[in-house]
Every structure is written in structure tokens, then in C-alpha cells.
Amino acid sequence: MTEMFLKNITVVDLTTRLPGPFATMILQNLGAKVVKFENANIGGDPFKNDDLKLNYFNDWYKNINKNKDIQIIDFIKDEKKLVDTIYQSDLVLINDSKYHRDLINKIPKSINTLIIAAGKNEFKNLHDINALALTETFKEHLKDSLNLPYLPFAGISFAQQIATTAVSMLLNAKMNDNSLCHTIYLKDSTQLIFDSLKIKNHKHDQYLHTGKYPCYQLYELKNNAIACLGAVEEKFWVNFISVFELELDLNDRFDESGKVQEKIKNMFANYNSFEIKEKIAGHELCLTLIHK
């Protein structure tokens, strides 16, 4: 269970879609009370509707906003209720949108306010894919595939950055007895995180995490389950080849010829997931089984 480090902290969430609500979910998991106001004048949070026929958006909405105090109100008629709740809070998260401009100006300077925006000037309108497109790491991905990422990774990483910034603001307020108003940008956050992971002087297919070596790979079992092997460290590789009685040595875990990978592939093809579980029980291995 997560420790309640933010117990007695109240966060007013005026954000929608993924990054902001995902960030307040993180703060909630740390013990904060989250009051999420949704503007009835614009239909509430867009993730709840099905205008785009994207049903999973509604599932995401339910998951990341679970157990929050959600209030759908008219931001104009019920402004007093909204402002009163803000005055009693420790932190406000709010999207930089035309619907919030007047409200942002009414938030007192005594309240930590984190404004969430896509970017400045020509980058003020960005979806997840647009933010990723500005990174060098995504350009590396495009060398190998034109497939879109399975999840909105820019938004997910942005949510983590929002939550971290929010906690930093709360800590600053406690230490210095003052409050801050800060704007955080999807563009800057995405570039900071993803470009920090760019590898220089390597071809795009030469990565541990993209299956270059047999020690870090996915292998299919005879019942169509998948064995996820992460035997990079010496002890895990030694235990792995010992348990499965493979005639391999330490250097073979970084074999690039494909021969070792083929040998392990053929070995796993002779087992089902139940047999693998029995075989690895009690052994220290980085080996996880999943079913498709």
C-alpha cells in the first residue's frame, strides 16, 4: 500500500482528459484529497463522452478518476462554490484553456497553482503524437516502424512530471511559507524525458530493450503463452542456463549471431506455462510468464 505522505492535502483538479487527471490520481494515491470540478457548460470531461467512438477513453476516465470527489457544475452560475473550494485547498491544477482564463485570474496568490499547457507560440496546440514527434527518440523509432505507439506515452510521462512538480510546489510552500503559480508544458516535458534517453552513435536496431540480445527477449511457449526473459546480469543468466540445462556460457547472453536466441527459442517451444512455473519455482530468475 502506498504511504499517505500527502494526507491532509486538498487538491482541486480543474483539468480534463489524461495528463492532469492522471497526475491527480498519483497525488491521490499519496494521500491527497482530490476534488475534481467538471464544467457542465462544455459537457464535463471529454473522456466521458463517445463523440469520437473511442470507448476506451471512458474506461480510462473511470480508472484515473476513481474515488475522487467529482462535481459537475456550471462554472459561471456556480462560480462561488468553485472559488470557495479553491480558497480552502492547498493546490489547484488547471488547464490553460479559453474556458479557464478568467478563473485563473481569480485564484488567490496564496494557493499553489499549476497551469497545464501544451506549449508556447506555435506549439500551443499539441496532441500526444505531436509532442513525441519533437523528440529525437521518436525519430529513431520511425527508422524501424511507422506504427503509432500503443499508448499516449507523452501524456503519461507528462502526468508524472506534473505530479512531481505539484509535490515540489507543496514542499516549497511549506519550507518558504509562500505559494507559487507555475505553468508546465507538454512539449518541454516530453523533450526533457524522451531526449534524455537518446543513445548516440548506435544504429536504431542495436538496443538491449529492442531484442538485440537473447538474454532480454520474448519467447513463445507451446501453449502460446510468452516467456519474458530478463537475464542481463550474470547471476540471472547463470541461474537461467542452469535451471534449463542449457550448454551456454556467460558471453552467450550477448550473442548477436542469432544462434543462441534460436536455441533458447526452440527450448521454450517444448514447454507450456505450467511446466515453466514448476521448473523455475524457488529459483532466483528474471522470468515472467504472460498469456496472450
Q: What is the CA radius of gyration of the chain?
A: 24
pLDDT at residue 101, as a whole number:
86
- Angle among Cα 130, 135, 141 to the nearest 5 degrees reads 90
Q: What sign results for the dihedral spanned by CA atoms 193, 195, 201, 206?
A: positive
Which domains does the chain show, CATH number per domain? 10-195 (3.40.50.10540), 208-291 (3.30.1540.10)
Residue 225: strand pairing partners: 291
The predicted model scores a pTM of 0.90
pLDDT at residue 1, as a whole number:
54
pLDDT at residue 143, as a whole number:
80
CB 41 within 8 A of CB 180: no
204/120 Cα distance (integer angstroms): 31
To 10 degrees, what angle do helices 19-29 and 55-64 make? Answer: 30
Per-residue tens of pLDDT for the chain, all 292 residues: 568 999 999 999 999 999 999 999 999 999 999 999 999 988 899 998 766 667 889 999 999 999 999 999 999 999 999 999 999 999 999 999 988 888 999 999 999 999 999 999 999 999 999 999 999 989 888 887 899 998 999 999 999 999 999 999 999 999 999 999 999 999 999 999 999 988 776 565 668 888 899 999 999 999 999 999 999 999 999 999 999 999 999 999 999 999 999 999 999 999 999 999 999 999 999 999 999 7
111/92 Cα distance (integer angstroms): 7
13/159 Cα distance (integer angstroms): 13
33/9 Cα distance (integer angstroms): 6
